[in-house]
Amino acid sequence: MTDTYLELVNSGLTKKLAAQLGLPRPARLRRHRPGDPLLDGPALVLGHGPDADAVATLLSSPAGGPAHPHLDDAAPAVLDGWDLDVHRHPAPDVRYAAVVLVLTDLAHPDGLAGPVLAAASTLKRLRPGARVVTVHRPATDADAPAVAAARQGVDGLLRSLAKELRGGATGNGVVVAEGVPVTAPSVVATLRFFLSARSAFVDGQLLEVDSDAGELPADWERPLAGRVAVVTGAARGIGAAIADVLARDGATVVAVDVPAAGEQLAATANRVRGTALQLDVTAPDAGERILAHARARHGRIDVVVHNAGITRDKLLANMTPDRWEPVLAVNVDAPLRINEALLTSGDLVDSPRIVALASTSGIAGNRGQTSYAASKGGVIGMVRATAPLLVPFGGTANAVAPGFIETEMTARIPAVTRQVARRLNSLQQGGLPVDVAEAVAFLASPAAGGVVGRTLRVCGQNMVGR
């Protein structure tokens, strides 16, 4: 599971050699450690108008400082600023840790040149692990054509820019639905997620914020305080990392896995000071058993992470029912059935969060993975249609779609194929389980209540096609 190549090109003699040979030089990514500052340098906020001013105010206001006029209408927690060193114009020689382009007022593609060229002037001096984040509105069929063109243009721009950044820097965008203020909790939380080290392996992605629902945390280090979260497939790999991160963020975790994984499951549960539930998610009463466990041991259930998943890869030409059916059963039928039980239970009433693991294969397809891709595409459809059912309770359902992640599963891929697969993204490396877990934790948080039925890719901008 170690990326030896990444280690080599970042140390000593081999570092120089790789540079001379023009080999890919994946950077060590900046990852979240509790207590670290949000950014390790100044932030540049580009754009004009009240939205850009509001974002600049948010980023620069001292924690616990006085309300700023642009934020009068915002929720109190928004006023608790982030105390960053914020510039409004690019200063020569400054090495920015973040560049935020607030483009909500775009009315025509001509409007792109100003902020984009200002951002361009900073790119050669970005700090390692820097962040470029756009904030704009979605292009819809209700817009004037020039408005829609400008907005959709940001999409092409951002995805190109993300492919140009180096040194572990990423580019992502917050797409704020018309009518939702840029000070809405989920806009603020998504912006913070993209700026933070928590989004290390999220690159070239645009996340839509659909509503002003959600609630900002009292403490950004403990956004899940007081929440009870169930994680399936938690014995090892990505599931174990999700349990770890949810617990780190303050959640009480119910770790679920099959009885055969009992020992590792107990290890996870002990490590996160949670409880373990041995359960096959395909059991007809899996949902009821999860509910019963959560009620009995923790008195509530707030978050369910559908992480349990399997592959039985085979070219479709050689596919058999015994390979097709288990993949669909575990990866999508089980989450559907468990959700049904949860939704009818009456327990999911306090801003519940369902987060399901999809895959870039479910978006772009993958040779040899028709069954897996069908099941993971299924997950994407499932959360889209489940989310509206939770909105009346302040709830959401969303998915996270990992790309190439360094796990026991990918470690079994033949060496050369693995080396290539790892590099086929803008960060030129595989992600770590913790990267997926951070995205899950973000979508599981009360602050993400305005993100409704979406799928967030954690793939380093994987070149998987579509």
Closest approach, Cβ 217 to its own copies, in A, equals 27
Closest approach, Cβ 417 to its own copies, in A, equals 13
Which listed residue (9, 46, 99, 150) binds its own copies by CB under 8 A? Answer: 150
Closest approach, Cβ 13 to its own copies, in A, equals 28
Length of the chain: 466
Closer of 116 and 349 to its own copies (Cβ): 116
Write out the binding residues for its own copies, residues 361-400 only, by CB under 8 A: 361-370, 372-382, 384-389
Closest approach, Cβ 183 to its own copies, in A, equals 25
Write out the binding residues for its own copies, residues 327-346 only, by CB under 8 A: 328, 332-333, 336, 339-340
Give the total of residues touching its own copies (CB under 8 A).
91
Q: Of 59-67, 147-155, 211-219, 412-420, which segment contacts its own copies by CB under 8 A? A: 147-155
Write out the binding residues for its own copies, residues 424-453 only, by CB under 8 A: 424-426, 453
Which listed residue (6, 147, 303, 308) binds its own copies by CB under 8 A? Answer: 147
Closest approach, Cβ 69 to its own copies, in A, equals 33
Closest approach, Cβ 21 to its own copies, in A, equals 15
Closest approach, Cβ 7 to its own copies, in A, equals 25
Q: Of 59-67, 77-85, 140-148, 175-183, which segment contacts its own copies by CB under 8 A? A: 140-148
Beta bridge partners of 324: none
Write out the binding residues for its own copies, residues 157-216 only, by CB under 8 A: 157-164, 204
* Tokens matching residue 127: 């700090």
**Residue 310 and residue 326: Cα distance in Å, rounded?**
8
Closer of 227 and 376 to its own copies (Cβ): 376
From residue 325, alpha-carbon distances to 66, 312, 341 in Å are 58, 10, 22
Contacts of residue 121, Cβ cutoff 8 Å, sequence gap at least 6: 90
Q: Catalytic residue among 5, 193, 372, 404, which?
A: 372
Q: Of 22-30, 39-47, 72-80, 152-160, which segment contacts its own copies by CB under 8 A? A: 152-160
Closer of 79 and 436 to its own copies (Cβ): 436
Closer of 7 and 325 to its own copies (Cβ): 325
Write out the binding residues for its own copies, residues 298-327 only, by CB under 8 A: 315-321, 324-325
Confirm whether 96 is a catalytic residue.
no
* Tokens matching residue 260: 């055969």
Which listed residue (92, 156, 259, 346) binds its own copies by CB under 8 A? Answer: 156
Residue 89-128 contact track with its own copies, rule CB under 8 A, x = bound: -------------------xxx-xx--xx-xx--xx----
Closer of 33 and 124 to its own copies (Cβ): 124
Active site residues: 372
